[in-house]
Structure 1
Amino acid sequence: MSTTPNNEKSDKTVPFTTAEDAAKLANGTGSSSATPSSTAAADLVSRVADKAHATIDRLATTAAPKAQQLQKSLEDTNELLHERAERLRTTGNEWCDSLRSNVREHPLMAVGTALAVGLLIARLTR
């Protein structure tokens, strides 16, 4: 069994990649040339693999609630932003309607105001 990814070609193989492979090697079923030093190495690899699995399981157990909490927080924030955007849209529409009705009720004042604002902008930009 090789430890290289599927997309990489390699002639190198590892004698074992899992705790089960290491145990087979340690018991002598994986190879007929098992020596005491290879058995000790297999035991060491097996212990390291077991500790790595335990650590990964512990991290996954700790990370899952935090990820769910983050997802809930993002959903709440998304909902809040949509509510505020809707309120701003509504307020903008109300102001436009109010301005339109004021211009219809007082057309001369609207033209005078537009002229005054235009003159002010012209003076400021000179």
Structure 2
Amino acid sequence: MDTPSSSSSTSSTVTNGAAGNPQKLVERVAQTAHDTVDRVAAAAGPALEKLRTKTTGAQETLQSKADQLGAMQEEWITSARNYVRENPITAITIGVLAGLVIGRMGRSD
């Protein structure tokens, strides 16, 4: 038979089990948080590796393009030097005309 004292005893046991031991509650919440972080990290790992692979490929492509542009610049400089050496009067005339055109564009009369 239930008496008022036994029913309050049962109630206090349930309350003490859940809220009576805050350390256990904190440990349980912490463990759940750790498990969640581990799952997220495990799921993010392959995506991060895929992203790293793509960025490495893009970096290599950009470096290759930069190297090509550098080589092209050297070719143009060499070609321009050779043209000036072979055609000095034409090169001076082109330079003077280009200067005149740029000078007129800069003047707003």
Both structures adopt the same fold (TM-score exceeding 0.5): yes
Q: Pick the TM interval, shorter chain.
A: 0.7 to 0.9
Residue 117 (structure 1) aligned with residue 98 (structure 2): yes
Residue 81 (structure 1) aligned with residue 81 (structure 2): no
Letter in 2 for 1:116: L
1:76 Cα shift? 1.2
Note the residue ranges of structure 1 that are not aligned, 5 or more in a row: 1-34
How do 1:1-126 residues align onto structure 2 when only pairs under 5 Å count?
36=16, 37-39=19-21, 41-126=22-107
| TM-score, structure 1 as length reference | 0.64
Aligned equivalents of 1:50 and 1:125: distance in 2? 72
Aligned equivalents of 1:117 and 1:43: distance in 2? 84
Instruction: Point out the structure with the larger helix share.
Output: 2
**Larger Cα-atom Rg:** 2
- Matched residues, percent identical? 36
Aligned equivalents of 2:24 and 2:52: distance in 1? 41
What CA deviation, in whole Å up to 9, does each residue of 1:34-86 have, x standing for no partner? Answer: x92423x4443343223212101101101111221222122111111110100
Note the residue ranges of structure 2 that are not aligned, 5 or more in a row: 1-14
Q: Which has the higher contact order (CA 8 A, sep 6+)?
A: 1
Residue 38 of structure 1 aligns to a residue in which SS?
coil
What CA deviation, in whole Å up to 9, does each residue of 1:5-41 have, x standing for no partner? Answer: xxxxxxxxxxxxxxxxxxxxxxxxxxxxxx92423x4
Letter in 2 for 1:121: I
| TM-score, structure 2 as length reference | 0.73
